[in-house]
Amino acid sequence: MKFGQPDLLACHFTQVTPPLNSLYTPPMKRLLIIILLLPCVASAKAKLLTSWKSPAAATHAYKKVLIIGMSPNPGHRADFEDDLAAALTANHVEVVPGNQLLLRPEGAVMDPNYIREQIKANHIDAVIVARLVSIHESVTYVPPQAMAPYPYYGSFYGYYGYVAPIVCTPGYLREEKKVRVEGNFYGVAGDDTVLLWTGTSDTFNPKNADKVIKGVVELFSGELRKDGFF
């Protein structure tokens, strides 16, 4: 499920120097600052970790492409196949979701020979297959932070305001999740297939599986178009 690398958490800040007679930051202002920064931390979007394209990929135009999502969850699998097929369908390319072509008994693994027969019988000339590689979850403790106005050393009052009524923000737990998906594009060559493109994506802190699917579909479809497959 492009399942390489922009900076996802690109947040820009401007430092504002308060007057020297400001000895502390009011609690409500500190709370507002924390709330405003949360979107930068909680952003969830798929990004391309790695990708590779075969030099031979640009020499062939594809007419009928099969999408296969490898997931034990039939709903997630069908959603991914349908969404990616819709995103890649073009006037000159027919993109077929695997759930419309392949019989997959729940809990059973498809026989590769069955897939090969279906690809040949339906004149498929390329296959996109994607799988979930890993889900990594972590919990980080962020310790209390001492806050003081800048510059605290400019006067006795500033220094006293720093060492006496030091303002602390409480510590907290930060939970993070990373979902990694791999996608491959194969060209059909007779009874075999040839890898022409591969990509791996990371999605950070998704709210649910639908968010992962949407992000991966958007990323992979964009990269495959950019690389000239559609």
In this prediction, residue 80 carries a pLDDT of 97
**Overall domain count for the chain:** 1
Task: With respect to residue 180, please indicate whether it lies within any of the assigned structural domains.
Answer: yes
Q: Can you tell me whether residue 206 is helix, strand or coil?
A: coil
User: CA 82 → CA 23, 36, 78, 219, 222, distances in Å?
Assistant: 59, 36, 6, 15, 16
Averaged pLDDT of the chain: 78
pTM for this entry: 0.69
Q: Any residues with CB less than 8 A from the CB of 47 and at least 6 apart, and which?
A: 5, 6, 8, 201, 202, 203, 204, 219
- CA end-to-end distance (rounded Å), the chain: 16
Task: With respect to residue 20, please indicate whether it lies within any of the assigned structural domains.
Answer: no
**pLDDT tens digits along 144-172:** 766 655 555 566 666 666 655 555 667 78
**For the domain that residue 60 is a member of, what is the CATH number?**
3.40.50.10610
Residue 225, Cβ neighbours under 10 Å: how many? 14
Residue 108 structure tokens: 């059973």
- Residue position matching structure tokens 């729940």: 106
27-50 mean pLDDT: 56
Task: With respect to residue 12, please indicate whether it lies within any of the assigned structural domains.
Answer: no
Task: With respect to residue 73, please indicate whether it lies within any of the assigned structural domains.
Answer: yes
203-213 mean pLDDT: 91
Task: With respect to residue 88, please indicate whether it lies within any of the assigned structural domains.
Answer: yes
In this prediction, residue 78 carries a pLDDT of 95
Confidence of residue 189 (pLDDT cuts 50, 70, 90): confident
Amino acid at 139: V
Q: Give the range of the structural domain holding residue 78, as residue numbers without chain letter.
A: 27-139+173-226
Q: Any residues with CB less than 8 A from the CB of 36 and at least 6 apart, and which?
A: none
Report which of residues 11 and 106 the model is more confident about.
106
Residue 148 structure tokens: 């003081």
Closest CA to 129 of 216, 31, 21: 216
Task: With respect to residue 125, please indicate whether it lies within any of the assigned structural domains.
Answer: yes
pLDDT of residue 200 exceeding 60, the answer is yes
Confidence of residue 138 (pLDDT cuts 50, 70, 90): confident
Task: With respect to residue 158, please indicate whether it lies within any of the assigned structural domains.
Answer: no
CA distance 22 to 25: 8
**pLDDT tens digits along 58-76:** 767 889 999 999 988 999 9
Q: Find the range with the poorest average confidence among 126-130, 164-168, 213-217.
A: 164-168
Task: With respect to residue 101, please indicate whether it lies within any of the assigned structural domains.
Answer: yes
